[in-house]
Structure formats: C-alpha cells, structure tokens
Structure 1
Amino acid sequence: MQHDHDQGLAHDISRLHEQAFERRVALRWLLGAGAMSLTGAGAMTLAGCGGGGSSETTSTSSDSSSGSSGSSSGGSTGGSTTTTTCSVIPSETEGPYPGDGSNSANGSVANVLALSGIVRSDIRSSIGGASGIATGVPLQVIIELVNTNASCADLSGYAIYLWHCDALGRYSMYSSGVTGENYLRGVQATASDGTASFQTIYPGCYSGRVPHIHFEVYRSTTTATNWNNKLRTSQLCFPSDTNSAVYATSGYGNSAANNNAISLSTDGIFSDGYSTQMATMTGSAAAGYVARLKVGISV
C-alpha cells in the first residue's frame, strides 16, 4: 500500500480545514456585498442554503438555517413531487478515498466505477474478484434527487455514486487491511420518483470526522464511470443520538470514543451548516436504520 490510513486522514483533515476557511471568506464577501446594495433596484437578496459551500442558489429556497440539526429541507420521506421548496446541496470535498478515478492507491489509478457490477443496490460485498463483506448495523440509504430550477421536481434517470468507511473507519481500496477490497461503494440510477436506494451498513467514526457518507451525482449510469463526468459532490451526516446508539453495539472499534471527541459544530465539513445534509432517520440499532435525504441540484 502506498499510503496508510493515518497519512490519508491527515491529508483529509487539512483539505477540510482549507475548504471551511474558503467558505467563510466567500460568505463574508457576499454578506458585505449584500449590505452595500440593500437599497435601490439593484438590491441583492441572500438566501441561505443551510449547508454552505454551494456555488449555486435557487429562488425556491426558503431554508435559511446554517446550523440546524433537526427538521430541514434535507430530510424527506422520498417520492414526493408536491414540495416546491428545496435548496441546492453544498459541494463538499470527495476526500482522499473516492475510488472514482481521480487519484491512485497502491500505485495505480483507483476507479471502482470502471468495474463490472458497480451498479448495484446492496453495496456490502466486494466485487470484481474481491470477496470481502462489510458487517455492521444494517442501514438503507434513500436519496431523492430533485431539480431546484423546476419547483423541486424529481429527477429520474440520473445516477448516484455512494461510498463510505466500514465499521472500523477503514475505506476499501485505500486503508491498511482492506486495500484489496472495494465494498461499501456502489452506483444506483434514480427511479421515476427521483430516488436511489442503497443497502449498506452504518459507517464507523474515525478520528477527526463525524460519521458521514460521501456521494457524487451523475447524469446517468453510463456517465458514472469517471469523476470527470460528475455534476455534484457532497456528504450526508446523521443525528448524534443515532450515532451514539449504533456505537454502543459491538463491532465498531473506537467509534464511540472518536464520536464523543467531535461534534457537527467542530467538524471540518459540517461546522458551517448542515441542515440540507442531515439525514432523516427511522429504525433502531437492533433492527437497522433507514436514512433519507432530499438532494437538490440545479439543472
């Protein structure tokens, strides 16, 4: 392996801090510009997207919170076409472990998107000749993709590439002990109701980050073969009570201690706002969870 997990994590945290700083600078500039033009026909209206970091805004957005962890436009029961209020989800770093062809692992380009079988709903097992299976509290992730430029209409036929760490905080393809695996990575097309569903496990919590899931949005499964084609990259997070319940179960290593040492307000990605990125949860640690998130993009 070329880079171990500790080296990759340090790099990840550094990139996260840089991105958070850039967002704060951009926000201060925007607020200053808005204050100078509040009168006259050229007055500028600022609408918060709830997560920060987005280069796009939408006239349908009414979510102005930047730190709410409760109900938000980010949560959804899925399949609804009656909602006319939504926000463009913030762009976030893909981190050092994307497996989308944008970097290398073990001396070669790491691109799980090129493997046969990557379009799948159940992402708990490895593919392409690898045989590992990730274990942990069952989790179904349902992402509803909507168009913020069309009254939040559901977007069908698009594709979501989703990936996250295992119960011990390791990323397949990159982390020591699982470099030969590619589990917890998969692509799904959005259905007629705009939803893409993944059967996976609840991710562990490694030092320096709150529990999270990465995802990229593509125009179709045929274009979801390389990072150059992606339309959006972001991350979703979970309520703190759900994290605590999961990490009280066995098999999650140091996740409980790591989770207790950080919060959404101190995380390098979510500290500037996460309301559009907070999953709505149902279920239990014993029976498994369902996480739902409405993801707005501008197309």
Structure 2
Amino acid sequence: MTHRRDLLKLLAAAAPAVLGAGSFPHALRAQAVQAGLITPNVCALMPEVTEGPYYIDPGLIRADIRERRPGLPLRMRLQVVDPVCNPIAGARVDVWQCDAQGNYSGYARQGSDRVSDTTGQTFLRGTQIAGQDGVAAFQSIYPGWYRGRTAHVHFKVFLDQRNVLTGQMFFPDSFSDGVYAQVSAYARDGRDREVRNSNDGIARQAGDAAYAALTQIDGGYDAALVIGVSPDAVSRGGQRPRRGGGGQGMPPPPPRG
C-alpha cells in the first residue's frame, strides 16, 4: 500500500496541472479519491506567493460571492490538507478575484484602463470554513483578465494566528481563451490579453500544482484545487486579515490546542 506522503508526491509528479482535468488517467483519479482528495492535481506543500494589492476583509462568511456579477458560472472547491494528505478541518479560507472585465471590488482606479471605481463594493470576495473533508466551496464566476496578469483567483488559508498561506489559483490558457472568446461578459473593445501563464511571473513561481482541475457540471464548471499546508509553518507576512469594504472583519481561527 502506498504511504500517504508518497502518494502525494506520486500524484504531483504524474499529473501536470497545465494539461487540464481531462488529462488525468482513471488510475490517478481513483488513487486520489481513495486518499480523500478532490483532485489528483496536488503537491506536498503549496508555495506562498504575493498577496497583491487588492486584499481586504469585508467580513462576509458566504459561499455565493457573485453578487449578480455576469460571467461563466464557476464552482470553486479548495481542499486544505497537511503534507501527508490528511484534510485539515476548520481552516479559514478567504478568496477574492476580479470580475469578467478585470475589476476587483473595494478599490478605485480598477481594471486595465484604471478608470473604474468599486469603492465600498464587495463582489467576488468571501470566506468559508473548511469542513471535515478540508473543503471550502464557493459559487463564483470565471475570472477575467487585466493588464499585466494572467487569469487567476487569490486565496488565503488561515490555520491560526500565525500560520497563514497566501496563494493564487490558475487555469489552463486554452480554457481561458475559449471563455474570453465565447462568453459576451468578457468581451473587450479590440484588446487582447498580453500576459499568459507562461510569462506571468507569479504563475511560474506557484508552479503546476497551483492550477485548478476543471470539469463541466450542470450550469457551468467546477474548479478543484488541493492546497498542501504545513501545520507548523509561519507566514512570511500578512498574518492578520485587513478590514475593508465596509465590513466588520473577522479573526482567524483560534490557536490550535
């Protein structure tokens, strides 16, 4: 029987995320399911990457973060596990992303043209607490793009006051190209995105394991990502959520006993 630590490494090496969900062999899917994982696309530990300029804590514990924002429906499932694949229940997971036109909520000078003002708005932001299976799920839309970045969704995983993993979830370029070309909410006035996964520095830093496994579901798509977190790690920065967007803020989970 494969040891859980070895299984995590095996899955990471055998199923490059950039190929997309359809490329996973049935055997790998079966091994992942047997280990209690939502996707074979995993790594031992998720690398921490930059938070970016648009994180705020609006104090919203909610699964549906859309606020009627137009776009391709996307269910996101983030599963928090330790280095040997054991789910971490009770982890706080924050997500935030831009809308179909590349705008984040809660800030002025938004999008590629830097003219939109979304101050005081909270769309496409939310918090969920991971269940016994380590999964935090959100109803969202497929992220748009803005100048200088490839398509991505930000996340923070809080285990306690000191252990905070800041990361980003990415998507296959071929899928993004199809969404942007075929879904009217993402249409731009003759402008094409210049940055793709291959020339996005943060995507390269995050590596293959930061790419979502995409599958079609009723009404849209499912994006699944397994996030490996070391329970003993200490974040390099951003331990405490910042309040903003008119919300009251929430504390991270209490220290673990």
Q: Report how far residue 143 of structure 1 moved.
A: 0.6
Amino acid at match of 2:178: A
Does the 8 Å CA contact 1:89/1:277 hold for their aligned counterparts?
A: yes
Amino acid at match of 1:252: Y
Q: Report how far residue 275 of structure 1 moved.
A: 1.0
1:125-144 alignment runs, 5 A limit: 125=67, 133-144=68-79
Report the CA distance shift for 1:158/1:204 in structure 2 as closer, same or farther (over 3 A): same
Report the CA distance shift for 1:98/1:215 in structure 2 as closer, same or farther (over 3 A): same
Provide the rounded CA distance (Å) in 2 between the counterparts of 1:255 and 1:198: 30
Q: Report how far residue 79 of structure 1 moved.
A: 6.9
Deviations 1:47-71 (A, max 9, x none): xxxxxxxxxxx88635469x86126
Provide the rounded CA distance (Å) in 1 between the counterparts of 2:44 and 2:105: 32
Provide the rounded CA distance (Å) in 2 between the counterparts of 1:82 and 1:124: 28
Report the CA distance shift for 1:197/1:79 in structure 2 as closer, same or farther (over 3 A): farther
Report the CA distance shift for 1:273/1:230 in structure 2 as closer, same or farther (over 3 A): closer
1:38 alignment counterpart: none
1:70 alignment counterpart: 19
Question: Alignment partner for residue 132 of structure 2, among 192, 217, 220?
Answer: 192
2:24 alignment counterpart: none
Amino acid at match of 1:161: D
User: Does 1 or 2 have the higher relative contact order (CA < 8 Å, sep 6+)?
Assistant: 2
1:115-126 alignment runs, 5 A limit: 115=59, 118-125=60-67
1:45-194 alignment runs, 5 A limit: 61-62=9-10, 63=12, 69-70=18-19, 81-82=35-36, 86-99=43-56, 111-112=57-58, 115=59, 118-125=60-67, 133-148=68-83, 151-174=84-107, 175=110, 176-194=116-134
Q: Is residue 219 of structure 2 the alignment partner of residue 287 of structure 1?
A: yes
- Which ranges of 4 or more aligned residues in structure 1 deviate by more than 3 Å? 58-65, 75-86, 255-259
Provide the rounded CA distance (Å) in 2 between the counterparts of 1:143 and 1:205: 21
Provide the rounded CA distance (Å) in 1 between the counterparts of 2:139 and 2:190: 23
1:7-46 alignment runs, 5 A limit: none
Percent of paired sites with the same residue: 33
Deviations 1:54-104 (A, max 9, x none): xxxx88635469x861269xx9898763569741101011100011xxxxx
Provide the rounded CA distance (Å) in 1 between the counterparts of 2:195 and 2:219: 26
Provide the rounded CA distance (Å) in 2 between the counterparts of 1:291 and 1:273: 17
Provide the rounded CA distance (Å) in 1 between the counterparts of 2:175 and 2:89: 30
Q: Report how far residue 219 of structure 1 moved.
A: 2.1
Does the 8 Å CA contact 1:205/1:255 hold for their aligned counterparts?
A: no
Deviations 1:163-218 (A, max 9, x none): 00011100100132322211100000111111110001111111111100000001
Q: TM-score, normalised on structure 1?
A: 0.61
Provide the rounded CA distance (Å) in 2 between the counterparts of 1:178 and 1:76: 41
Does the 8 Å CA contact 1:211/1:237 hold for their aligned counterparts?
A: yes
Report the CA distance shift for 1:288/1:256 in structure 2 as closer, same or farther (over 3 A): farther
RMSD, matched Cα? 3.2
Which is higher, the Rg of structure 1 or of structure 2?
1
1:1-12 alignment runs, 5 A limit: none
Q: Is residue 211 of structure 2 the alignment partner of residue 211 of structure 1?
A: no
Structure 2 unaligned regions, length at least 5: 22-27, 111-115, 232-257
Q: TM-score, normalised on structure 2?
A: 0.71
Does the 8 Å CA contact 2:77/2:137 hold for their aligned counterparts?
A: yes
Q: Report how far residue 258 of structure 1 moved.
A: 3.8
